[in-house]
């Protein structure tokens, strides 16, 4: 992605893949688009194995959210002086003390160049202005947004753009939106996703043929192959589109958000229809047995368990 297609190393690796790729017993890809690319331009017949969230990704309960926010120190919404009610108490969180008209957006990131955070920041500014301009309309009175931006718990390196975007966030003067960045552990990662009213994915596929894993994870708690626009999510290209979607989604918040509720139900259905363990058993296991017929399915499953690759049983 950073070197470009004309770089000698990229050309060498492309030759290597084309030369030896067909010698494999089986081939797996994560989208039908990639499957078609391999068939048409590489002469390879691949099986589509959709990335699915493991079984422990699910919508979190109020109790789970409260305990999680205590661990993460999310006791108040920064910058919203009039939002909180009650006394400052060590055992209180956003779920026990906040106004019923505050919502949480979650963005999981590795702080790398394949995520355009400028879109989110610009959308936040536009959303803030438009909410303030529409305060005369009852359904928008009192709605505040807490954007929680958490580090991916599994990054290979520290994201190079973290400090740059944090500086930009601090310079914003917003009255209806606040940002909070944090690092979350692998244990808390699925719980945090399950605590959000809305998830935002800014990840762009470098090939244009695969799917951002963060979208897959988000579908566990609640490219066009996964996100069906208007059914289980919304697609956007510009910051203005994203800001408009925020306004539409939170219209009637918290009890009468028709579109948000419909999309949440669609996301839950998408996430629960198939899990990683199901996909592995249906798509990968037959290929492994075919490639090594002397090894039984039971033994392959045992190998997966012993190497902690069975993500549905962490």
Instruction: Give the tens place of pLDDT for each residue, 128-184.
Output: 888 888 765 444 444 556 666 665 554 444 567 888 888 888 888 888 888 888 888
List, in order, residues 6 or more apart from 175 with CB less than 8 Å away: 128, 132
CA distance linking residue 313 with residue 54, whole number of Å? 8
d(CA 51, CA 276): 7
Residue by residue, DSSP assigns 272-300 as HH--HHHHIIIIIHHHHHHHSTTS-HHHH
Domains of the chain: 1-48 (no CATH), 62-273 (3.40.50.2000), 286-314 (no CATH)
Altogether, the residues listed in the chain come to a count of: 314
Backbone angles phi, psi at 28, to 5 degrees: -130, 140
Asked if pLDDT for residue 92 goes beyond 70, the answer is no
Structure confidence by residue, pLDDT tens digits, 270-306: 655 566 777 777 888 888 777 776 666 666 666 555 5
């Amino acid at each position: 992605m950073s070197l470009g297609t004309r770089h000698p190393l990229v050309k060498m690796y492309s030759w290597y893949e084309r030369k030896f790729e067909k010698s494999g017993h089986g081939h797996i890809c994560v989208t039908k688009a990639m499957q078609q690319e391999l068939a048409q331009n590489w002469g390879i017949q691949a099986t589509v194995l959709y990335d699915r969230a493991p079984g422990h990704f699910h919508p979190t309960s109020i109790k789970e959210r409260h305990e999680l926010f205590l661990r993460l120190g999310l006791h108040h919404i920064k910058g919203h002086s009039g939002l909180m009610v009650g006394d400052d108490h060590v055992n209180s969180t956003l779920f026990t003390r906040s106004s019923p008209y505050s919502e949480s957006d979650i963005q999981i990131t590795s702080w790398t160049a394949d995520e355009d955070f400028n879109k989110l920041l610009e959308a936040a500014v536009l959303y803030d202005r438009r909410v303030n301009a529409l305060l005369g309309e009852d359904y928008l009175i009192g709605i505040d947004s807490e954007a929680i931006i958490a580090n991916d718990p599994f990054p290979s390196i520290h994201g190079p753009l973290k400090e740059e975007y944090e500086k930009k966030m601090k310079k914003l003067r917003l009255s209806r939106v606040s940002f909070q960045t944090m690092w979350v552990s692998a244990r808390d990662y699925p719980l945090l996703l399950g605590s959000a009213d809305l998830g935002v994915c800014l990840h762009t596929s470098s090939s244009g043929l695969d799917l951002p894993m963060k979208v897959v994870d988000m579908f566990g708690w609640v490219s066009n192959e996964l996100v069906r626009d208007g059914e289980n999510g919304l697609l956007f290209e510009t910051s203005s589109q994203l800001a408009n979607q925020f306004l539409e989604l939170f219209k009637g918040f918290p009890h009468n958000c028709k579109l948000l509720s419909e999309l949440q139900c669609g996301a839950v259905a998408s996430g629960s229809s198939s899990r990683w363990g199901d996909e592995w058993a249906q798509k990968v296991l037959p290929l492994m047995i075919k490639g090594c017929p002397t090894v039984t399915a039971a033994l392959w499953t045992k190998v997966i368990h012993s190497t902690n690759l069975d993500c549905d049983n962490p």
